[in-house]
Structure 1
Amino acid sequence: MMTLQTSARPAPGLPTGLTLSIPIGEPASSGSLGSASGLLAAVPSVGDRITPAKLIEMLQALLTSDLDAAARLRFLRAWKAPLLASCEHTGAHVGEETGERPMGSGSVFEGRLYRLMFRNLAAAIELTANRQRAPDADLSGWAVRNLFHFFQYQIRHAARLQIPLPAGSWRDLHALSVRLVVSTRYPRSVDASRDAYPVVGYQGIRSIELRYKEILLLGLIAQVFVNAIQDRMSGLSSWAVETRLETPFGLSGQRGLWLVDLADDAPPCECAGPLSPDFRGWVLFPPLDFVRMLDSARLSETSDRGRAVRPSPF
């Protein structure tokens, strides 16, 4: 398991020692995978036809390999297009190979591929951060952009199938947010103390916080608009621009806040009661029109449930 090296609290109200549930360089759990290096050498060329099962096997091997961050990212970038193409046709593959009917508009294979891609990207980013030296700027930018892209794929896929995200998904994202968002807000100066927050090497990527806010808002949307999540995606970018992401410092006792508990494996939630001084995480301030949209959807859902249980007068 990887643990973020936060020897001192990076900002008031944020926790220390968050753990990512991503094994790096550990032996693969399945004996059928063989050695990671051997499997990676035997993987077909990018242009070859490949099944979702083979992609999963390859990504699992990469995750447990001892490759450095730059090598991992070059490998993942080369395989992104084949992976997405495979996800688009996963339903047909599952039906052909297992004889089973695919689940709704997606499949278990598709969800596993998105999750594994996210975990591999997170592993490469964390390896870079621990060494305080990033790959070239182009590769670094690609890694961060796609980290958030693949988490969005996970949310939309889970919403289509009406299933929860795999255990640890939100917790891993929140842990990485501390690494990435805080490093862009509080870059360490040359004369900073040794307890300052580690340099990640992604300070030039201004969209990190914006992309994280998009994910948080999408997590809220997915809780309300389960069957119409795609219809609400068009306004996501503009809502994220207007959304504030703050530490809880100075907010204790306030009510009705949207909280992102960094120790919780869950999307943001609304806290009706007063904010505890012991809370450690982010406080989300979405724009008013976004909050009204959620409230309207909840009111409509409550009204529909009331009509459903109302006894018939006939």
Structure 2
Amino acid sequence: MVTRSLATCQTKPCQSESWRHSLAASFTDVAALLESLGLREADIPDLDRATPPSFRVLVTREFAALMRPGDPEDPLLRQVLPLALEQARIPGYVMDPVDDTAADRGHGLLQKYAGRALLIATGACAIHCRYCFRRHYPYAGLGSAAARSASALARIAADPSLSEVILSGGDPLMLADDQLERLVAQLDGIGHLRRLRIHTRLPVVLPNRVTERFCAILADSRLDAVVVIHANHPQELGADAEQSLGLLRRAGVTVLNQSVLLRAVNDDSTTLGQLSERLFRCGALPYYLHQLDPVSGAAHFQVSDQRACRLIQTLRQQLPGYLVPRLVREVPGADSKMPI
């Protein structure tokens, strides 16, 4: 068992909230991103130069620094680079591929599975991944954060069947530490809750977001804290990400990873195997490998089920069982993620 203590949490990423300055320096222009990598727009023949304002290019400099300069096929670049293929209308690819609308209980509270509720803590994110299943989510209709939180917390408190609350988004770590502290304290006060789960990509794409105060918030909570990060490729897990995950582990947090299987990014057994090994080295366990949610604009990332199953079979032959993620798909209306 990991003892919850912050005595060792004295390293650089938790010294301040410098992450805000890092976030402000993010790339929001594709030409500037490419220039930083020694590339030109002409190097990307199918580049989409007219991305919608609602899902513009957004990439942290920390994530961009992990990309290979001069390589238009870099697997990290491919995740964030808008292509003209996004404009294609493909049958079966829809705006709400996991039917969040049907699970909406109002004010950003979603209930799909027994014993759990998911709270859309914010619509903001530090990176716009082009395959994001919530890229079309109507965040603007959620109302003010204060009203949303009060309504959602009241519903959670009134439902004793709930044992776990999941903070999602957007990315919940886009909230300031004082906002997270208030929210966690309110959840702490709901007696039937046992676990708090946070789904976040920021420990990977903006590692200095894992501050000393954030670690303390989770360590001091009576709830068992689980942080589920999102990394798709071993190249994403640099030294800073490893440090941020180490801080979470030393605070007594269980750290899991969920990936999305993406064509030309991680759809080979060598990459997936290296990802599992790197995650474990960083203190995170592989949890899920998701088949792509069929969101409009992301069909070019799709990998067939047949290929996905072959990849998992190869991983089983090469890795110990605890390093093999579960291959799953979210099926609207199902009572759990569906194994493939």
Give the TM-score normalised by the residue count of structure 2: 0.30
- In our comparison, the structure showing a higher alpha carbon Rg is 1
Q: Bigger relative contact order, structure 1 or 2, given CA contacts below 8 A and separation 6+?
A: 2
Larger helix share, 1 or 2: 1
Q: Which structure carries more strand by proportion?
A: 2
- TM-score calculated relative to the size of structure 1: 0.32
